[in-house]
A and B are shown apart, each in its own frame.
Chain A
Amino acid sequence: MANEDNNNRNLGRNGKSSLGRRTFLGAAGAGAVTTTLAGCLGGVGGDDDDGIFKIGHLAPTGMAMGVGSERSAEIAVDEVGKVRDQEIELISENTETDPGGTSEIVERMIVEDNVDLLVGTFSSEVTQRITGTIADEDVPFIITGSADQSTMANTTGDDYEHNKNIFRTGPINSELQAEAMADYAEFLSDEHGWNTFGHLSEEAAWTKSFQELLPDELRSRGFDVPYDDTVSLSTDNYTSILDDLESEGVDAVLRFFASGGQGKLLKPWITNRYPFAVEGTHVASMNPEFWGQTEGICQYETTAQSGGGGVTDITDKTMDFVETYQDEYGDDGAPTKPMYMGFNTYDAIHFYSEVAEEAGTINYNDDLDDIVEAMHSVEYTGAAAEISLYGEDSDYPNDAKETRTDGKISNYPVTQWQPNEDDEGGHQELVYPAANSSGDHIAPPWM
């Protein structure tokens, strides 16, 4: 528009003054920029040694599991007190099981907070997304939540030298869990004479090992596995699955649910009294509040969980830890017990403090090899299990070792929900392994 403002006439003749104005503005702008340079990015890649031992804790604290882990981390930090004469600071963030968001959190923890140790992560997607950055920066990272075997296979199993700062102190990985589950099936067979099992896994990365290994393991021990299937996370109606299991005549179904399940299987199972037991791993069932939340539809189902749900002593530290947890957080809402990730996080922090003593250093920038060596040499009795790690040349480098008693994997406890004697509510009993058990495994009475 030619005459859109009345300054047209001025543009030509006042070129100089407008230039002048422009220069003035330019100078003012430059001045503004330079003064704000004072507030530049200080501390990026700054001082590594600030005299405080910082632990970065990553867990989905919007879920009970994450809250339990966070609280356990705090208890561990209190108990450990100091690491290499440095005060400990715990920085805990909510991953929201979001890989991108957690990546950003990890970046900040490493660069801005100068963490000396990272602990946690529950979901496999998150773990997989952050291990790249963590391996690049050499910060020691102890996984305490996701059990997926491929997490280590893709890192330490692939390029050990680059990924040697990544560890897992618990739970035992999914391949070992598959073997342990077969051991448990033998226990059930001894107890109740069950020889026919079904296998049902949710479609998820962590169940791949069960899908690939469990049915054959069971068959190699002389059991029948007439039902073997996966179920998608979006399935809501389990009735046909239950019908199939019944028609195949299974004595028990070994099911593996983390995000799935959640009672979608249990509700029809218990309402219709299907004549088989529900065993395996069910993360939702680990929640101490599960009975109350589901109004008891979980009775007689079992789940494996690190720490055995805090029901009874697995090591001499188990119940001490559980009691400390209940004293501190018993009134603060769910979860009223640490849950499996809490046990592992608690043990991991204690484990690392021993490692730091053994290695004589926490400086991962200069002395990572000393730290790694100590991670392999230290053996520590935690609240959930005895912890020691596989070495560089093993099948599962830097991964938690299973403990064996009489050839069977014994750091894989199984709990069962049983009704209280007064018929008001229910509680968890540790039913396996027999050496630690607090009660007998009960078959559903309608079988």
Chain B
Amino acid sequence: MSSETGRSSGIASRISGAAGRAGGAALDRLTTVTGPINRVLQPLANVYNRLIGGYFGEMNGLQFVLVVGTLVGLLTAPFWGNYALIQAMIAASIWAILAMGWDIQSGYTGYISFGHSVLSGGAGYTTAMLIHNVNPELPMLVTIPVSVLAALGIGLLIALPSLRLSGPYFSLITFVAVLIFYRMMNPLSEYTGGETGLAGVEKIFDITEPVQSYYLFLLPMLAVAVALLIVARSNIGLILLAIRENESAVEAAGINATKFKIWSFMLSSIPMGIGGVLLAHRFGGVDPGSFIVVDNSIEMIAMAVVGGMGSILGPLGGAFFIILMEDIVLHAFGLDAQLRWAILWIIVLLILVFARQGLFRKLWYGLERLGGDRR
């Protein structure tokens, strides 16, 4: 089995190598224009670099503009977007949390988990089941922490037995975890609502006040992004990356890799729990098809990979990209639902093949190159 770190081989690498060089040459020519722009913006970026660059990594001027611009855009979206866009961005915020949560574990350690939908689904279902079976009046202050704890608990349950196994077997166990949870829905349908799920969860999205509601989803997402970035840039993140590259070396250095693998799973369970809770509160209920099914895990993975695995911000971008494509862009053409999905999958496939490092990583490195003036 060839290396898993993404080095191309054979014809693929020759083609993409050639394309890369051609593209690179074009970028270099552009630097006569963009270089100066970058130099103009660099001081701004340097203020940031001095202040908090140590936590998040440093940026050049163009990258700084990208980040700030996106941030401004996200924060002001209700003022320039229409209703459908706000709905899509709320959905994207929730999925971004899920994709980032997946990334800190799978993207960083390289242990690909298909079972993350169980974590978010577990949290969502905990909320709904508490409301349905225990007390419909339970305040969110109670249900939310309990649900996130439930996600942690499920995460521990899955992680402990499986992380001592190597790559593909770990992935298989996580896949089976989803199947098992799904199968449990119907026999326990009195508590779980079977395949129609449960309703009655308080909706935090007020349909006549979309602006306020929007921030209830965006801000947690940004908080999760910041928190995960800090973790990813810290020593823990380094160790996780090292595990992905060469686990034996990590062990040889005296670090207990399994402990850190479990840590990463625990760490990722928290945003998964938050995401699951937000999803349940968005529409006021849960059902297996929207929460548990393995399709959801695959969607998270696709978002993370499209954006750029192992970078936290990549999956964030990937989530927004896919959801906005799905809900806004493709709808504009008025096609049959099946064709819309087919086109979306083709786009994702093209990205997977030709930009396997992820769209946003490519963008990031592209901006770095456009900044000219290398170190």
A392 CB to closest chain B CB (Å) equals: 21
Bound Cα distance A41, B89 (Å)? 15
Q: Does B366 contact A (CB under 8 A)?
A: no
A125 touches B42 (CB 8 A): no
Contact B79 A44 (CB under 8 A): no
Select one of B186, B200, B375 contacting A4, CB under 8 A: B375
State which of A5-13, A221-229, A436-444 sits at the interface with chain B. A5-13
Complex Cα–Cα for A205 and B195 (A): 7
Interface presence of A94 (CB below 8 A): yes
The winner among B82, B196, B210, B287 for most chain A CB atoms within 10 A is B196
Q: Determine the residue in chain A with the shortest Cβ distance to B338.
A: A62
B203:A132 contact, CB within 8 angstroms: yes
Q: Does B208 lie within 8 Å of A44, measured CB to CB? A: yes
Q: Does A404 contact B (CB under 8 A)?
A: no
- 0/1 string, B164-188, CB within 8 A of A gives 1: 0000000000000000000000100
A253-308 contacts to B, CB under 8 A, are none
Q: Which of A1, A98, A129, A136 contacts B58 (CB 8 A)?
A: A1
Q: Does B230 contact A (CB under 8 A)?
A: no
Q: Which of A31-39, A171-179, A315-323, A371-379 contacts B (4 or more CB under 8 A)?
A: A31-39
Contacts of B336 on A, CB cut-off 8 Å? 62
Please tell me if B31 contacts chain A, counting CB pairs below 8 Å. Answer: no
The answer to whether B287 and A125 touch across the interface, beta carbons within 8 angstroms, is yes
* Residues of A close to B196: CB separation below 8 A: 124-125, 128, 148, 150, 205
User: What string of 1s and 0s marks CB contacts (under 8 Å) between B56-96 and chain A?
Assistant: 00101000000000001000101111111011000100000
- Which residue of B40, B81, B211, B284 is within 8 Å of A129 (Cβ)? B284
Nearest CB to that of A25 among chain B residues? B44
Segment touching B, from A72-80, A81-89, A101-109, A393-401: A101-109
For residue B43, CB closer than 8 A to chain A, the reply is yes
Question: A96 to nearest B CB, angstroms?
Answer: 6
Q: How far is the CA of A302 from the CA of B287 in the complex (A)?
A: 32
Beta-carbon nearest neighbor of A42 in chain B: B82
Say how far A31's CB is from chain B's closest CB, in angstroms.
Answer: 13
Q: List the A side residues contacting B86 at CB < 8 Å.
A: 41
Within 8 Å CB of A104, what residues of B? 84, 87, 91, 327
Interface size on B, residues (CB 8 A): 46
| In contact, A100 and B83 (Cβ under 8 angstroms) | no
Q: Which B residues are in CB contact (< 8 Å) with A203?
A: 186, 194-195
* CA distance in complex: A25, B68 (Å): 12
Q: Which residue of A lies closest to B371 (CB)?
A: A5
A189 at the interface (CB under 8 A from B): no
Cβ–Cβ < 8 Å partners of B337 in chain A: 61-62, 94, 96
- Please report the C-alpha to C-alpha distance between residue A267 and residue B375 in the assembled complex, in whole angstroms: 71
B137 to chain A, nearest CB (A): 14
Interchain nearest-CB distance for B85 vs A (Å) = 10
B348 within 8 A of A: no
* A96 neighbours in B (Cβ, 8 Å): 337
Supposing A62-B337, A132-B285 touch, asked if A39 and B83 sit within 8 A by C-beta, the answer is no
- Docked complex Cα distance between A204 and B186 (Å): 9
Q: Which residue of A lies closest to B207 (CB)?
A: A107
Say whether A154 faces chain B, with CB atoms less than 8 Å apart.
yes
CB < 8 Å: which of B72, B79, B200, B205 contacts A37?
A: B79
Instruction: Tell me the nearest residue of chain B to A137, going by C-beta.
Output: B207
Least CB distance, B129 to chain A, in whole angstroms: 15
**Interface size of A as a range:** 35 or more
Whether B208 contacts A204 by the Cβ 8 Å rule is: no
Interface residue A188 (Cβ < 8 Å from any Cβ of B): no
Asked if residues A108 and B84 are in contact (CB atoms below 8 Å), the reply is yes
Asked whether A52 is an interface residue with its Cβ less than 8 Å from the other chain, the reply is no
CA of A373 to CA of B91, assembled, Å: 38
- In this assembly, does A324 line the interface, its C-beta being within 8 Å of a C-beta of chain B? no
Nearest-CB residue, chain B, relative to A124: B196
Count of CB-CB pairs between chains A and B under 8 Å: 124
CA distance A5 to B40 in the complex (A): 12
**Smallest CB gap from A146: residue in B:** B196
Q: In the complex, A94 Cα to B283 Cα: how many Å?
A: 18
Instruction: State whether B195 touches A125 (Cβ < 8 A).
Output: yes
Cβ-closest chain A residue relative to B374: A4
- The distance in angstroms between the C-alpha atoms of A178 and B375, with both chains bound, is 77
Whole-angstrom CA separation of A100 from B197 in the bound complex: 12
> CB distance B80 to A133 under 8 Å?
no
Interface contact B43-A10, CB-CB below 8 Å: yes
B285 near A111: Cβ-Cβ < 8 Å: no
Interface check A192, CB cutoff 8 A = no
Q: Flag if A99 contacts B203 (CB, 8 Å).
A: no
Q: A99 and B44 in contact (CB under 8 A), knowing A39-B80, A108-B87, A137-B207?
A: no
Closest to B86 in A: A41
A22 located at the interface, meaning its Cβ lies under 8 Å from any Cβ of chain B in the complex: yes
Query: Which of A1, A61, A110, A154 contacts B207, CB < 8 Å?
Result: A110
**Interface assignment of B39: CB less than 8 Å from any CB of chain A:** yes
- Contact A44 B210, CB 8 Å, known A99-B287, A124-B196, A205-B195: yes
Which of A25, A107, A131 lies in contact with B199, CB distance below 8 A? A131
Contact A29 B72 (CB under 8 A): yes
**Cβ A129 vs Cβ B287 within 8 A:** yes
Partner of B79, one of A25, A40, A112, A129: A40
Q: Does B34 contact A (CB under 8 A)?
A: no
Residue of A nearest to B61 (CB): A5
Among A1, A98, A103, A203, the one with the most B-chain Cβ atoms within 10 Å of its Cβ is A103
Hey, what's the 0/1 contact readout for B286-302 against A, CB within 8 Å counting as 1?
A: 01011000000000000
Return the contact of A44 from the options B83, B91, B373 (Cβ within 8 A): B83
Q: Which residues on the A side are within 8 Å of B357 (C-beta)?
A: none
**In the bound complex, CA of A100 to CA of B289 (Å):** 10
Q: Could you tell me the distance in whole angstroms from the C-beta of A356 to the nearest C-beta in chain B?
A: 24
A425 in the interface, Cβ–Cβ < 8 Å? no
A239 lies within 8 A of chain B by Cβ:
no
Q: How far is the CA of A125 from the CA of B203 in the complex (A)?
A: 17
Are A111 and B208 interface neighbours, CB within 8 A? yes
Contacting pair B284 A107 (CB below 8 A): no
Q: Which of B187-235 contact A (CB under 8 A)?
A: 194-197, 199-200, 203, 205, 207-208, 210-211
Which of A14, A45, A129, A137 has the most chain B CB atoms closer than 10 A to its own CB? A129
Chain B residue with Cβ nearest A205? B196
Contact check: which of B42, B72, B284, B375 meets A7 at CB < 8 Å? Answer: B42
User: Who on chain A is nearest to B46 by CB?
Assistant: A11
A sample of 7 cross-chain residue pairs with beta-carbon separation below 8 angstroms, ordered by A number, consists of: A18-B43, A21-B43, A45-B208, A61-B337, A103-B283, A112-B84, A129-B197
Closest 3 CB pairs of A and B: A205-B196, A45-B208, A132-B284
* A contacts, CB < 8 Å to B: 1, 4-5, 7, 10-11, 14, 18, 21-22, 25, 29, 33, 36-37, 39-41, 44-45, 61-62, 94, 96, 98-100, 103-104, 107-108, 110-112, 124-125, 128-129, 131-133, 136-137, 148, 150, 154, 203-205, 232
Other contacts beyond A107-B205, A108-B87: 8, CB < 8 A: A100-B290, A107-B207, A125-B197, A128-B197, A128-B285, A128-B287, A133-B284, A204-B195
